Amino acid sequence: MSTPFSSMIARLTETFLPGYVVRRMRVGREWRRWVASITPEILDDLAHAPTEVKKRLFKSYVKLVEIEANAKCNRVCSFCPNIVVDRRRNHTLTDAKLLDRVFEDLGSIDYAQRIRFARYSEPLSNVRYLLDRIRSARRLVPHAELDVVTNTDYLKRSTLAQLRDAGLNKLYMSIYLKPSEKWTSELARVYGERLEKKLGTPITSRSETDVSVRCTYKYEGVELVSSCRNFDEYGVDRGSMLAQYTGETRAGPCREPFWTFIIDYTGAVMPCCNLRSDLDEHKGFIVGDLTNPATTIFDIYAGRLAEWRQSLVGFGSKEHPCQTCRHRDLPSEFIGPISGHLNRQLQRIGRGNLL
Ligand code: SF4
Ligand code: SF4
């Protein structure tokens, strides 16, 4: 368990180390914390447990509730399953009453982690509707951190003020190159500078890896972050939908059904952000339907999602649709130490059969 003092020491130590070492340390720390957090409750199907137990479980584990506020995305990217299901003409809006029910439930546990408006839509393609949903979330879940992921096509300087006034905390801006362009860090920097100019928000920091350039920008009241990634080198197979990313198998556990709660524009709940209810290939993976007012996010999290957690908690080969998914997989250098920790933890809590 980390204390404020140990976190302060860790942060202080990190300021003297190169960026790649810091990133590696953080990854190791995050995985160790996840292992330490595993209890029988989070692995067992608690569909019939009292509501208070389910609420406690959700509040203790979920760090991100990701929502689609609408269906439309104006783009069709080669590294996204929208290349299979074209969303450009799908103008469906997610039922506002359904989302308010979700926000009320989150408010009832004083949820203070992230709520994200993203998925396979472009949230800013209907700004007015998005602003209403953000206002609702801000009112009903006052301590949540609200963020939006946008492809920036509809983003203007004036939109930033609207988002801020509605209660948004953070805007993630994904920069995509034209299909004819080849990713280089120089080109990624140029795109970051174009965004700086378009929004009138000066770049305040830039960090680079071999496959990405990430920038932060100065803007009062909303944290602005952009990333431009090389999708020739970096990508996820999205539940076996994208053949170009199926070359490697998954080695480690998957923490997504522990940490995230994913809601599609259809009201369907999915086990992770890579699976989607509007793909025939993924319909069988739907774990809940929030269009049924009798179903709550707590029921689904404590119930159907437990099966996914059990099947993904251990090391070794995974079943479809997870076998070639590299989404947040454990880096190979951590496999030895983390599998040792996990082994001991699962034995200790009497769930060694899941290894
Ligand atoms: S990657 Fe983003 S912008 Fe591109 S098609 Fe998918 S959802 Fe739309
Ligand atoms: S391993 Fe499976 S559950 Fe985890 S992110 Fe990948 S597809 Fe989703």
pLDDT in tens, 144-180: 999 999 999 999 999 999 999 999 999 999 999 999 9
**C-beta of 75 in contact with ligand 1 (< 6 A):** yes
pLDDT bucket at 29, cuts 50 / 70 / 90: very high
Q: Give per-residue pLDDT as tens, 263-309.
A: 999 999 999 999 999 999 999 999 999 999 999 999 999 999 999 99
User: Is 325 a pocket residue for ligand 2 (Cβ < 6 Å)?
Assistant: yes
Q: How far apart are CA 149 and CA 225, in angstroms?
A: 10
Distance from residue 75's CA to the centre of ligand 1 (Å): 6
> Counting Cβ atoms within 10 Å, is residue 284 exposed (0-12), middle (13-18) or buried (19+)?
exposed
Q: Which of 225, 255, 273 is nearest to 65 (CA)?
A: 273
Q: What is the pLDDT of residue 12?
A: 66
Largest CA distance in the chain: 57
- Whether 171 and 195 have beta carbons less than 8 Å apart is answered as no
Is the omega angle on the peptide bond into residue 4 within 30 degrees of 0, that is, cis?
no
Query: Is the CB of 81 inside a 6 Å radius of any atom of ligand 2?
Result: no
Q: 327: Cβ below 6 Å to ligand 2? A: yes
The minimum-distance atom of ligand 1 relative to the CA of 82 is 5
Q: Which of 68, 74, 75 to mutate to test the pocket of ligand 1 (most atoms within 8 A of CB)?
A: 75
DSSP string, 26-47: HHHHHHHHHHHH--HHHHS--T
Q: pTM of this prediction?
A: 0.94
Distance of CA 176 from the midpoint of ligand 1 (Å):
9
**Cβ proximity of 296 and 215 under 8 Å:** no
Specify the DSSP element, H or E, that contains 306: helix 304-312
* Sheet architecture: strand order including 212-217: 203-209, 212-217, 223-229, 170-175, 145-150, 114-117, 64-67, 260-263, 268-270, 288-289
The residues with which 114 forms a beta bridge, in sequence order, are 64, 145
**Residue 188 CB coordination number (10 Å):** 24
Tokens linked to 198: 């378009």
Q: Indicate which atom in ligand 1 lies nearest the CA of residue 73.
A: 8
> Would the CB of 188 count as within 6 Å of ligand 2?
no
**Partners of residue 172 on adjacent β-strands:** 149, 225
239 lines ligand 2 (CB under 6 A): yes
Ligand located closest to 119 CA: 1
Measured in Å, residue 40 CA sits from the centre of ligand 1 at 37
**Nearest ligand by distance to the CA of 83:** 1
Model pLDDT for residues 79-88, shown as the tens digit of each residue: 999 999 999 9
Distance 90 CA to ligand 2 centre (A): 26
Residue bearing the CA closest to ligand 1, atom 7: 120
- Residue 24: pLDDT band (50, 70, 90) is confident
Q: CA-CA distances (angstroms) from residue 51 to 46, 110, 300, 318?
A: 10, 15, 11, 31
Residue 196 has pLDDT above 70, yes or no: yes
Q: Is the CB of 152 under 6 A from ligand 1?
A: no
At residue 116's C-alpha, the angle toward residues 99 and 148, to 5°, is: 115
Point out the ligand nearest to the CA of residue 74. Answer: 1
101, pLDDT greater than 70: yes
Closest by alpha carbon to 192, among 210, 206, 182, 178?
Answer: 206
Cα separation, 289 vs 167, in Å, equals: 28
Phi, psi of 161 (to 5 degrees): -65, -40
The residue whose CA has the least distance to atom 1 of ligand 2 is 322
Ligand 2 centroid to Cα of residue 254, in Å, is: 6
Contact 77, 128 (CB under 8 A): no
Q: CA dihedral defined by 143, 163, 150, 136, rounded to 10 degrees?
A: 50
Q: Is the CB of 77 under 6 A from ligand 1?
A: yes
* pLDDT reading at 243 higher than 80: yes
Among protein residues, the one with the nearest Cα to ligand 2's atom 3 is 272
Per-residue burial over 11-49, b if 16 or more Cβ lie within 10 Å, else e, is eeeeeeeeeeebeeeebbeebbebbeebeebbbeebeeb
**260 Cβ below 6 A of ligand 2:** no
Query: Would the pLDDT of 245 be above 70?
Result: yes
